[in-house]
Structure 1
């Protein structure tokens, strides 16, 4: 398995950051529509932009994720066209789902809102096929995909039985960062803070493949959004509720032109933002990339096969802090030795 960092566009001037990659432009942004901003995970910008792209005729359909209308515990891919309620896909879904496999995901007139790995897969697939007209790829900062079982365990702990049918299940949104919220058909309600739901239940359940992902920041997308957290005196994110703000990065010339047009059309409000300011409030993304080479080395020394990554500069980043790198090599080796290597 080889995952390649996307090649820079010819004739385009980029800013660059070791953890965040290349950017044609970067912003702090939020949806102008107050309800979209409230319902979205961090400012509602991806919801606002994707809906505007269709309603303005720049695209014909959006492929995204939403709760299954019949079984809200599950997350499914959906396709929305002109006149649809695009707020239906607002808010994060911390559960397994695939947008890349949707039949419209490769359409040149489509917008795909998916995980960074899906943007990478679609980009490499289109490149291998020689497909020049690609869908518009929108993505978001991703820390990994939790298991469906983690959602079920959290619901049970919050007092909603496994078999109880749900009316609503929301992972985030309705405020920033917003609570995990569920309501059963019979009217039982349960909620947990973002720190409790993600930090204690959902996050720890993510698959190993996500833990060794080289790109949680959507380098293969046209546009990627992430939380532009407020920080405490030590520089760490603060998860108190407030009006959502996204860090918004244009990865391509097309992405930059879309953002500028969306601003001019009054769809989003945005202000230029240095990449370094974004990396300062995304310590997880910075740490995971800076330590990935060391963690992969520890895994290999324990007898496991690991993915191959090209172009991300992982070795050079690990050398910035050799002591930390050695600590991660040992930790990864020790944990991996507790498992039996597979082909």
Structure 2
């Protein structure tokens, strides 16, 4: 075992290799989906926390926080397994277990550091307790597949919740961000990537008493998002396809129908991917914890790409990425050609061509 996590894999052993292939999210496969590139969708609501303080503090609308609070408040689970900042290094994350609403709220918000919430999961879970798990799409995919092989654990981990993810920024990206802001990880006392508004400012409080701020679109667009982990560049699921519920930003649109990253009051798209998720979403809304602007379910296929264009582009250009990498003699994941072709049909030829050239240039320059 790896520190109480999933079994260590010895690729020389057929049984372990089979386990690895069936659980690891790098091996992307799925069944029939109702909404193709967006995954299965039972219900999709635009909404936000009815608590103004949570809505303001949260990374976007606070819906995921409210769902977790509902589960604890109504004793649907005993605890929430999720992540929070590492008190010894604000650019890192650690796993945590919240058993009260107050703990959940105090730990809400996005963490853009590398997180490994499954590392200690088998040590965390107690046989007489029920849990909800909150993690990145890849974490949820791995855990869902593991639960399918471990029925005993399904009695303890009841709900799998996630959020849209564009990749984990590298350690180097964190250092470059702090350097640009005028400090370092050694000089950083607290680091908030976003929130306290929507999207809010990346804010650092230094040990020498300074408060440093940077616009979110600059922090992510020029530093964090430009240097994500290598494996994240090949991720086929940034949208939490195997979660019960997944939440994401539902950006306002500018006059050109592009996401507007200027400050607004936060709001989420809240997607229930199965019947269990739908029941939980309906119950949370009924409790008054989430205010609903609109039922967006019937508009997912026709309009959702406007609000999350990066996720559409990620899947739609994956075939282009893999083709370009192979042309350069690089190793790539072995994804289903049928999925790659299907997703590629959602993206214009010019976009794919420009992306192809960009990949080639980055490989030549040693950036990929």
TM-score in same-fold range (> 0.5): yes
Report the RMSD for the aligned CA atoms in angstroms.
2.5
1:184: which partner in 2?
A: 206
Normalised to the residue count of structure 2, the TM-score between the two structures is 0.83
3-state SS of paired residue (2:40): strand
Partner Cα separation in structure 2 for residue 139 and residue 101 of structure 1: 17
Higher normalized helix content (fraction of residues): 2
* Correspondence 1:309 to 2:335: yes
| Distance in 1 between residues matched to 2:180 and 2:329, nearest whole Å | 38
How far apart, in 2, do the equivalents of 1:106 and 1:72 lie?
Answer: 26
Q: Which residue of 1 aligns with 2:27?
A: 3
Measured in 1, the distance between the counterparts of 2:201 and 2:232 equals: 23
CA distance in 1, matches of 2:286, 2:204: 37
TM-score by length of 1: 0.89
2:165 to 142, 155, 159: 142
Correspondence for 1:94: 112
Aligned-pair CA distance for 1:246: 0.3
Equivalent residue, structure 1, for 2:174: 151
Label 1:182 to 1:256 Cα distance change in 2 as closer, same or farther (>3 A).
Answer: same
Structure 2 residue ranges without an equivalent (≥5): 1-20
Query: Is the aligned partner of 1:39 residue 2:62?
Result: no
Asked if 1:120 corresponds to 2:141, the answer is yes
Partners of 2:141 and 2:243 within 8 A in 1: yes
**CA drift at 1:165:** 4.7
Match of 1:259 in 2: 281
Aligned counterpart in structure 2 of residue 52 of structure 1, from 47, 60, 70: 70
- Classify 1:319/1:47 alpha carbon distance in 2 versus 1 (closer, same or farther; 3 Å): closer
2-side partners of 1:32 and 1:102: how far apart?
Answer: 33
The alpha carbon displacement at 1:185 in A equals 3.2
Contact 2:93 2:113 in 1 (8 A): yes
**Distance in 2 between the 1:225 and 1:148 partners?**
26
Q: Say whether the 8 Å CA contact 2:69–2:101 is kept in structure 1.
A: no
For residues 52-71 of structure 1, the aligned pairs below 5 Å read 52-71=70-89
Deviations 1:285-314 (A, max 9, x none): 111111111211221232222112349722
Q: Output the CA distance in 1 between the equivalents of 2:211 and 2:202.
A: 11
Aligned pairs for 1:239-250 within 5 A: 239-250=261-272
- Distance across 2 between alignment mates of 1:45 and 1:177: 14
